Amino acid sequence: MKRNITEKLKAWKEKKNRHPLILKGVRQAGKTYILKEFGQTFFPHYHYVNFEEDKQAGKIFQQDLNPKRILDELSFYLDSAIDIKNDLVIFDEIQSCPPALTSLKYFSEKLPQLALCSAGSLLGLYFGLSSFPVGNVDFLEMYPMSFEEFLSGIEETRSYDYLKNCRLDTQIPEIVHSRLWELLKVYFITGGLPEVVTIYHENKHDLYKALQLVRDKQNTLILGYEADMAKHSGKQNSMHINRLWRNIPSQLAREQNGSAPKFKFKDVIPGVKGYERLSGIIDWLMTAGLIIKAHIIDKALPPLSAFKEENAFKLYFFDVGILGAVSQLSPKTILDYDYGTYQGYFAENVAAQEFICSGIDELFCWREVTSEVEFLREIEGNVFPIEIKSGWVTKAKSLNVFAQKYSPEYRIVMSARNLKINVERKIHYYPLYLASRFPLPGKK
C-alpha cells in the first residue's frame, strides 16, 4: 500500500546529521509494513528484529549498550552481514526491549552513519520504564490511512489521480464527484486501518460480505485496544479509560443538531466528576493515539492556541471505522447514509482525521453564544473558518456571523456538494473528500 509517510522517510534518509528514527503511532496503523517496504525499496538490504516476538534478540542488549558489539552479535544472530554505511536496521516493537530503546542514544553518538529505524506503540514508548534517549532521536508519527491513501490502497487509481491533481479551478465532472462521494461513504465504514482496508479490497466484489468482514475485524481490533488499556494502566484505571472512550459516541446521541458537542464530564464515570478528575484519563487516551481533541475557543485571532482552555473541547475517534464499530452502526445504515444526527459527527470525525493526517498538530473550533464553526485553520497568520455539512444543504448561518465579526479572506463549507469557488461571496465549497487537500493550490 502506498503511504504518504514514505516521502518523509526518504527525507530522513537524506538528512544531514540524522539520528536514529522512532516511528510512533497507534497500533495497527501500518508501521511495520511501511518500514519493511522502505528498507526493501531504498536500501540494498534491511535487517529486521521484532523485540515483542523475539525475546532472544533482546538478550543481546543486556551485556552493555556498545553499538559495535550489538551489531556484531545481531549479524551473527540474524545470519546476515550488516553494512553500516548502506543497510537499514529496523528495531520493531522497541518498547518491549527497554535497553534497545536506551541504546539509540549510543547509536546516535557512536555510529551516526548507520540508518536505524525503530517502531513502537505510543503506549509502550510513553509509559515504559526505560531511559528515553531525549535529543538523540528523530520522530515521525504515523496515522491510519487518509481517504487519499484509502483510494490508493483499494486500487482506485483514476479516483486517486483525480483527487491528487485537484486545484481551485478544477471542474470535477459529476460522474467523478459521485464516484468519490460513494467511496467516501465506504471509507466511513472501513476507516483507515490498513488491515481493515485490505480485507475490504480483497472482498469488494461482494460488498455485503466485504463490509461484514470489515466490521468483524474492527470488533477484534477494539478488543485489542481495550486489552492494551488493561496492560498499560491496571484493571481499575482501564475500566475508567474504557468507559470514557466508549462514552464519546454515546454523548453524540444526545445532540439534535448533528454537530459534535462539547465534551461533558458529568456521569461519564460514576463517582468521578469534573475535568480535573477526568483529565488524566483523557490525556492517557490522547497519548495512546485513540482520540483526537479539538479545542473550543471564543476568539478567532492568531495565534489560536492563546485562547484555548483546558476544559473546553470536542473529542473525536482516531479512526472513523472504529467509531462506527463502537457505535454499533451497521455498515448498511452508514452506506445508505441514514443514521440521523450521527451523520454530522461522522463527517466531522473524517474532517478531523484528514486534517491531522495532512500535518496539523492542533485542531480548533470556534463558539460564541449560539454560533459555532466546526474548525478553524490558521495559515500564514490568517484564520479560515471551516463549516462541515454531512449532506447537500450548505446554508451556514454561523459562518456568516463569523465573517461579519472577523472578515476572513474567505470561508469554507465542506459537504457532499461538488467543488465550487464563489469569488464574489468569498466562499469556497469543498467536497468533504478534499479535506486533506485544503487549501487547494491555485488562484483564490
Segment 414-441, tens digit of pLDDT: 999 999 999 999 999 999 999 999 999 9
The 10 Å Cβ neighbour count of residue 388 is: 26
Residue 1 has a pLDDT of 77
- Residues in Cβ contact with 72 at an 8 Å cutoff, skipping those fewer than 6 apart: none
User: How distant, in Å, are the alpha carbons of 113, 316, 323, 371, 374 from that of 327?
Assistant: 48, 13, 6, 28, 21
* Domain parsing of the chain, residue ranges: 5-142, 147-437
- What pLDDT is recorded for position 64? 94
pTM equals: 0.92
Q: What is the pLDDT of residues 308-317, one digit of tens each?
A: 998 999 999 9
Residue 252 has pLDDT above 60, yes or no: yes
**Rounded mean pLDDT, 340-351:** 85
* Better-predicted residue by pLDDT, 385 or 287: 385
Q: Which of 158, 160, 141 is nearest to 149 (CA)?
A: 160
Written as nine digits, the cell of 347 is: 463527517
- Among 32-36, 109-113, 239-243, the range scoring the smallest mean pLDDT is 239-243
Average pLDDT over residues 282-293: 92
Report pLDDT for 166.
Answer: 95
The answer for residues whose C-beta is within 8 angstroms of residue 105's C-beta and 6 or more apart is 65, 131, 133, 136, 137
**What mean pLDDT value characterizes the chain?**
91
Has residue 277 got a pLDDT over 70?
A: yes
Looking at residue 404, its pLDDT comes to: 95
CA distance 107 to 88: 13
Question: Is the peptide bond prior to 270 cis by the omega test (within 30 degrees of 0)?
Answer: no
C-alpha cell at 197: 482496508
> H or E stretch including 365?
strand 363-368
Residue range 269-283: mean pLDDT, rounded: 82
The model's confidence at residue 163, banded by pLDDT at 50, 70 and 90, is very high
pLDDT computed for residue 131 by the predictor: 60
pLDDT tens-digit readout, 172-230: 999 999 999 999 999 999 999 999 999 999 999 999 999 999 999 999 999 999 988 88
pLDDT more than 90, % of the chain: 75
Q: Is 146 helix (H, G, I), strand (E, B) or coil?
A: coil
Q: Helix (H, G, I), strand (E, B), or coil: what is residue 142?
A: strand
Reported residue count of the chain is 444
The answer to whether 118 touches 104, Cβ cutoff 8 Å, is yes
Looking at the predicted structure, is the pLDDT value of residue 239 above 80? yes
Q: In what order do the strands lie in the sheet with 115-121?
A: 46-50, 88-92, 115-121, 21-25, 138-142
Query: Binning pLDDT at 50, 70 and 90, where does residue 370 land?
Result: confident
Average pLDDT over residues 253-268: 70
Least confident of 150-159, 243-252, 314-323: 243-252
Say which residue, 126 or 153, is predicted with more confidence.
153
Q: For domain 5-142, which architecture applies?
A: 3-Layer(aba) Sandwich (3.40)
- pLDDT score for 37: 97
Band (270; pLDDT cuts 50, 70, 90): confident
pLDDT digits (tens, 9 = 90+) for 398-407: 999 999 999 9
**Beta strand pairing call for 427-431 and 411-415:** parallel
What pLDDT score was predicted for residue 266?
79
In the chain, the amino acid numbered 53 is: E
Q: How many CB atoms lie within 10 A of CB 231?
A: 13
417 contacts 425 by C-beta, under 8 angstroms: no
Residue 10 Cα distances to 36, 92, 296, angstroms: 13, 19, 36
What pLDDT is attached to residue 125?
Answer: 63
Residue 338 — pLDDT band, cuts 50, 70, 90? confident
Q: Crossing angle, helix 174-190 and helix 157-164, to 10 degrees? A: 100
Inform me whether the pLDDT recorded for 342 exceeds 80: no
Give the model's pLDDT for residue 444: 64
Q: Which three cell numbers stand for residue 259?
A: 454537530
3-state secondary structure of 325: helix
Residues 293, 313: contact at Cβ < 8 Å? yes
- 162-181 core/surface letters (b: 16 or more CB in 10 A; e: else): bbeebeeeeebeeebbeebb
| Rounded distance between C-alpha atoms, residue 350 and residue 356, angstroms | 10
Asked if 87 and 126 touch (Cβ cutoff 8 Å), the reply is: no
Cell of 278: 477526568
Question: Model confidence over 78-136: pLDDT tens digits?
Answer: 999 999 999 999 999 998 898 999 999 999 999 999 999 999 876 666 655 456 676 78
Owner of C-alpha cell 500564514 = 380
262 DSSP assignment: P
Q: Is pLDDT at 250 greater than 90 in this prediction?
A: no
pLDDT at res. 233:
73
